[in-house]
Amino acid sequence: MASGIFALLDDIATLMDDVAVMGKVAGKKTAGLLGDDLAVNAEKASGFMSSRELPVLWAITKGSFLNKLIILPAAFLLSAFLPAAITVILLIGGLYLAYEGAEKIYEFFFPHAHPEEKPKLEKLSKEEVLAKEKEKIKSAILTDFILSVEIVIIALGTVTDAPLLNQILVVTLIAFVATVGVYGLVALIVRMDEFGAKLIDLNEREDSFSDKIGQFLINALPKVIRGLTIIGTIALCLVSGGIFVHNIHFLHDLLPGIPLIITEFLIGLVVGFIVLLVIKMATGLWKKVKK
């Protein structure tokens, strides 16, 4: 009896060790996408009244957990009964990621022309403010759903040869860490300016050490979000390029002698601009047809 218990404990320890090893691999593969997820959600969760930032972020976090509850079973069913679909979804997701990265780069160099309008002060009722808040929350949860699909599929793609139980444990772990880690960091980021303001009000002395730190945090917030956006854009190209390189053998050997990370970035960038060009041409054609 005792030997059976020890054998079971040994099996569990072996399983957890395998999960930890595969989790590290999956974590590395999804790290770039998590950077983009962080940048997007930090932008989505900012812009609210200070008293509403954390409640809004909590609402988005709960929506993110619900997204994972929908996505994970669907992904595991595909892995169990139609594993070839995982590669197809990976490649489609890679096209989307490459397009998103290329679009951000294109928008940086060729921003859309926006007509200059004088800012208007809107007097909104409490109900209208809450309605707008709910719209932004729904938009953030929808964005989270798309990014969650990509994260789960990429993580699943790293463990497709493992037993189903290992797949479930590894991918669920990555999904949980993604939600808790990303939204925990977003909470810290969006409250930087609030914490800075409290440091400034800490004492009545002017130009004190706490004032300098507080002012630094207030000024740093937009720069941090902008920096995360740049890192996220680079990550989009790297992750998408990695998907193509590791799933299409021809691309893996396309640029011999060049470090793999540069190859992945360049392929992601080129594919992204090709998809962007096709979409812009199709959009222009559709507008002409509608006229």
Reading the chain (291 residues) residue by residue, the pLDDT tens digits are: 444 443 443 444 454 554 555 555 555 556 556 666 666 666 666 666 666 777 888 888 888 889 889 988 988 888 788 878 878 887 888 888 889 889 989 988 887 655 555 545 456 566 766 777 788 788 778 877 877 887 888 787 777 777 777 778 888 888 888 788 888 888 887 778 778 888 887 777 777 777 788 888 888 878 887 787 787 788 778 878 888 887 787 777 777 778 888 888 899 999 999 999 999 999 888 888 876
Range 210-248 burial, b when 16+ CB lie within 10 A, else e: ebeebeebbeebeeebeebbeebbbbbbbbbbbbbbbbe
The CA distance from 23 to 166, in Å, is 10
pTM over 0.75: no
